[in-house]
Structure 1
Amino acid sequence: MSGSLLLRDASVDGARVDVLVRDGVIAEIGAAGEISTGAAGIEQLLLDGRVLLPGLWDNHVHMSQWALHAKRPSTFHAASAREAAGMMAAALAGAGALPLDEHGRVLPLVGTGFRDGLWPDVPSRALLDEAVPSAPVVLVSADLHAVWLNSLALERFGLSDHATGVLREEPAFEIEGQINDLPPEVLDAWVADAGRDAAARGVVGLVDLEMSWNADTWMRRRSRGWRSQRVELGIYPQHLERAIELGMRTGDALDALLTVGRLKIITDGSLGTRTAYCFDPYPGMQGAEAHGLLAVPPAELEALVLRGLDAGIAPTVHAIGDHANAHVLDVFERLGVRGSAGRIEHAQLLRAADVARLGALGIDASVQPEHALDDRDLADLHWHGRTDGAFRVRSLLEAGATLALGSDAPVAPLDPWVTVAAAVERAKDGREPWHPDEAIGVGDALRASVRSRIAVDEPADLVALDADLSGADGAALRAMPVALTLLAGDATHSTL
């Protein structure tokens, strides 16, 4: 940003102040009315006592998939596989003619959000064929770790002989990569819309963990005018050597808004797909996968983490089950990974001893509080008797871990106020709080959602609210009205 902006009469930590922004950073803070405006070219904006906060970050998103999510029919609230299949039949009837690909083939109808972990029946290709016999259909699970296809879709992807039509983990990710491969000009426009929507909720930064090679994607979006958020780009193992050859290191700036992020390693699956790797078996499951799936064994994980660290690329490791989390902590301990050098994504189920270990290492715990509320019934069923160790937030904070809150959008909404409300109240939809002893205060939740302070020489990434935070309950937090969002001093959203 060039030029200057004076924010008049903001409320910061209970004090009424003026904040002068110059060239994208905070240049001066003074009591309300005390900063001189004698210099020419200073724009003024009266906040009239509105609360001013540092801009909010979502520390775990899949931005392309979040943008696509808004365009696809949802089966999130289906109570059975048959109901979900019927929802897709209704979506097809309402969609009209499906678009064609470059070869003249009908593109699959893609749905989102199926959650079969609580269903009384089992998803199958036959059930989906019965509901939608005339078009290829792909449903993506709510946790993104499974897909459900009918026969026409299976044929389309060269899987005609697949028995059930339900694919999990790596085979599912391959299908998702293909159905998400839209023309760049189309997807970029949808992502731009999603970025503006996020700015309207006070978001100034995203950690984008799409599985694709994202550096070129985001440089293209920047060339097309992206300016809604700062973006930190994740790197997956299949792209690690490419990143190393390019000399990319965690924290490197690719331009004013794009930064190289961390090496994202997915070491196990998810609760909803019953692939999170656990010490105890899932109820009713037997055989090799009864405890979930360990996608990256400890020796392989250690080699990947070490390769990244040697090249200056810090790890962030997906671990949901308690056994997976224990493996990650073992590796971090052996390699001496401590503090912000290491991060665990999700950390959904943890033994008490591993909470203590995580805290002693002081590493980041990138957690998504809304998942606890969406998955509480799944956890009560599939982690029966162990949910006192599930979706811990307060315990991690008190143990010494550094919390980084996020959504995992599209698994949960890209809205930091939804995330904060879930962390603070541990309840929604009129239900009683779930394990309320793991709730944290609004201040702690906000500190885990920002990367700057309101102080001189800090980035002018700022948010002004149209409501008071004091005493706000979960419903008020979820609906928190944002009046102004500044990114490096430029307004990305304003109702003023």
Structure 2
Amino acid sequence: MANADLLVTGARIHTLDPARPTAGALAVTGGVITAVGEPAELTALRGPGTTVLDLAGATVTPGLTDGHTHPLMGLDVATGLDLSGCRDLAALRTALAEAARATPRGGWVTGWNLDHNTFRDHPIDRTAIDDVLGAVPAFLRLYDAHSALVSGRALEIAGITGPRPFAQRAEVVCDAGGRPTGHLVEHAAIDLVTPFVPAPAAAERRARLLDLLRGMAATGLTTGHVMDLQSPGALELLAAAEDGDALPVRLLIHPWCMPGDGDEGVDRLIALQRQAGRDWRVAGVKFFIDGTVEGGTAWLEHPDCHGQGTDAFWPDAAEYTRALHRLDAAGVATATHAIGDAGVRHVLDGVEALGTPRARHRIEHIETVPDAQLPRFAALGVAASMQPGHCAYTRADRTDAWSRRLGRERAERAWRCRDLREAGATLVLGSDWPISGYDARGVLAAARLRRPAGSPDTAPVRPEQALTALMALEGCTTHAARAVGEEAVAGRIAVGYRADLTAFGVDPLAAPADEVAAAPVRLTVVGGRVVHRAD
């Protein structure tokens, strides 16, 4: 056997390979794992050009995957003020007043991560903020990224004076007199304002993307399932980011298919599957069958407690199913955002109608789902993609906006990770950054804790849905690979598999979850390249 390019020793290796669950060393050649064993067994592979990494007691696992992230769209969303610390309207007003005073003439106040719970029982209305902003326009995204609050001056600049019709379920919320409140629900309504918000130059966007991906790699991430390609110039941004160097994280990208795209739009998405770079490729299509619980746009079998939520995101839900079938016939994988119980059911019905699918299909989020739907995931081969960090937006006592909208019965079916896993589903875990933090260690921990890591005083949300440490790790490795059809080349440490590796300062299968969240990441390797190494 030829000398290895890279030899990793001195570590405890969890391979997730049933044929050899643990090892003490591994070798990499040409970006692929070529040997797994004990250090003495691999010494013959060391040559003059071999890089030897003695990890001195670290624990190595297959490289972690974020099963649902938005590093492209997130560059636009996560801008300006991080409003997550604003727990009430007084705090929000103070933050906006300070920002308005510091904004130069002609500038905007922008913000993101604004919690619906900040408004308590008050409507989301620009009257709560206009007076502290003065003449400065403001564009504030709520944490779900499916809604925004804009100021009166921003409405004026965008020419929004009343309700608008949309090809999807979206709304410019207006009061009884037809006056826009500044609350914009879903992407089409938000996009009425975004063209007027100052955007960074291309060079700045490239630098921000690379910084973001480096930060992700430092938490142990090697791959991201990217659920968007909508930002203007996204393909050019990816090409520019790879100019001169490889990306720190491999990206599998799912552009959106939206209501009204028609056959022509679906054909464009099929053709787009050929687009790829060195470390990114278009690998499927993202749908929305509904919106969010807090926004009243989750598709539910019965109305929410505000009398909303009985409509799909697609005005003609059958059009969604036709697009799904057209993509499957072309062998294109799909990922569908489905939060409400009716939305989940409709997607499963659409996949079942395929008979034998040609492509892999998955459902994203699955925030509330009844017992009857659980076994259908495994039976139909539909992966369940869930984000443990989303529990942070609910409370165990059900006083949060999400729970109050749904009512107790449906809120008791919140994020049924353990039930889906035990029903045999492929369970993919991710962050949904920028909705939740991208730190892969936090994802692993929250899956086990059902609360944010490092917050022991926070009561867990439905703790019986917690995953074991092994289940959580599989959700970021073997199950993530299976969801995108890469189970023969990724997600394990075995000969012939891609050399994606994460090395922890603690054993993620043995250490308490809070310790895993704070553990140093000693090494991150993508395709045999060391993209992060801690001293």
Distance 2:309 2:103 in 1: 43
2:345 maps to 326
Distance 1:108 1:392 in 2: 40
Q: Which amino acid aligns with 1:298?
A: A
Q: What SS is found at the alignment partner of 1:63? A: coil
2:111 maps to 111
Q: What SS is found at the alignment partner of 2:82? A: coil
2:285 maps to 263
Give 1:324 shift: 1.2
For structure 1, the 5+ residue unaligned runs are: 99-105
2:212 maps to 194
2:174 maps to none
The structure 1 residue matched to 2:245, chosen from 222, 225, 228, is: 225
Cα deviation 1:442-472 (Å, max 9, x = unaligned): 1111111123211111111101111232442
Q: What SS is found at the alignment partner of 1:7? A: strand
Give 1:486 shift: 0.6
Distance 2:65 2:499 in 1: 14
The structure 2 residue matched to 1:53, chosen from 39, 56, 61, is: 61
Cα deviation 1:53-101 (Å, max 9, x = unaligned): 11111111111343455542122232334542332222233x4426xxx
1:73 maps to 81
Distance 1:456 1:16 in 2: 12
| More deviation, 211-220/132-141 | 211-220
Residues 39 and 91 of structure 1: CA distance in aligned 2, closer, same or farther (over 3 Å): same
Distance 2:203 2:181 in 1: 35
Q: Which amino acid aligns with 2:501?
A: L
Cα deviation 1:242-273 (Å, max 9, x = unaligned): 674586476x6723311222211111111222
Q: Does 1:363 align with 2:363?
A: no
Q: Which amino acid aligns with 1:378?
A: A
Q: What SS is found at the alignment partner of 1:165? A: strand
Q: Does 1:24 align with 2:48?
A: no
1:375 maps to 394
Q: TM-score, normalised by structure 1?
A: 0.90
Q: Which amino acid aligns with 2:32?
A: V
Distance 2:434 2:310 in 1: 23
Give 1:298 shift: 2.6
Distance 1:378 1:476 in 2: 30
Q: What SS is found at the alignment partner of 2:278? A: coil
Q: Does 1:467 align with 2:506?
A: yes
| More deviation, 235-244/39-48 | 235-244
1:151 maps to 152
Is contact 2:328-2:359 (8 Å) kept?
no
Distance 1:209 1:127 in 2: 33
| More deviation, 114-123/482-491 | 114-123
1:446 maps to 473
| More deviation, 316-325/203-212 | 203-212
1:102 maps to none
Q: Does 1:166 align with 2:205?
A: no
Distance 2:347 2:211 in 1: 36
Distance 1:24 1:254 in 2: 18
Is contact 1:316-1:342 (8 Å) kept?
yes
Give 1:319 shift: 0.5
Distance 1:374 1:245 in 2: 36
Residues 247 and 140 of structure 1: CA distance in aligned 2, closer, same or farther (over 3 Å): closer
Q: Does 1:481 align with 2:520?
A: yes
Residues 65 and 131 of structure 1: CA distance in aligned 2, closer, same or farther (over 3 Å): farther
1:103 maps to none
Give 1:150 shift: 0.7
2:429 maps to 405
1:235 maps to 255
Give 1:188 shift: 1.4
Distance 1:293 1:53 in 2: 43
Distance 2:53 2:511 in 1: 26
Q: Which amino acid aligns with 1:232?
A: L
Is contact 2:9-2:26 (8 Å) kept?
yes
The structure 2 residue matched to 1:272, chosen from 289, 294, 308, is: 294
Distance 2:359 2:440 in 1: 22
Q: Which amino acid aligns with 1:456?
A: V
Q: Which amino acid aligns with 2:413?
A: G
Q: What SS is found at the alignment partner of 2:135? A: coil
Is contact 1:369-1:423 (8 Å) kept?
yes
RMSD of aligned Cα (Å): 2.5
| More deviation, 347-356/195-204 | 347-356
Q: What SS is found at the alignment partner of 1:486? A: strand
Q: Which amino acid aligns with 1:259?
A: R
Q: Which amino acid aligns with 2:183?
A: V
Give 1:353 shift: 0.6
Q: Which amino acid aligns with 1:420?
A: L
Q: Which amino acid aligns with 1:17?
A: G
Is contact 2:130-2:151 (8 Å) kept?
yes
| More deviation, 67-76/306-315 | 67-76
1:184 maps to 202
Give 1:11 shift: 0.8
Q: TM-score, normalised by structure 2?
A: 0.84
Give 1:337 shift: 6.0
Give 1:204 shift: 0.6
Residues 352 and 52 of structure 1: CA distance in aligned 2, closer, same or farther (over 3 Å): same
Give 1:387 shift: 2.1
Task: Give the number of equivalent residue pairs.
Answer: 482
Give 1:145 shift: 0.8
1:335 maps to 354
The structure 2 residue matched to 1:209, chosen from 187, 204, 227, is: 227
Residues 437 and 474 of structure 1: CA distance in aligned 2, closer, same or farther (over 3 Å): same
Give 1:354 shift: 1.1
Distance 1:176 1:45 in 2: 51
Is contact 1:269-1:293 (8 Å) kept?
no
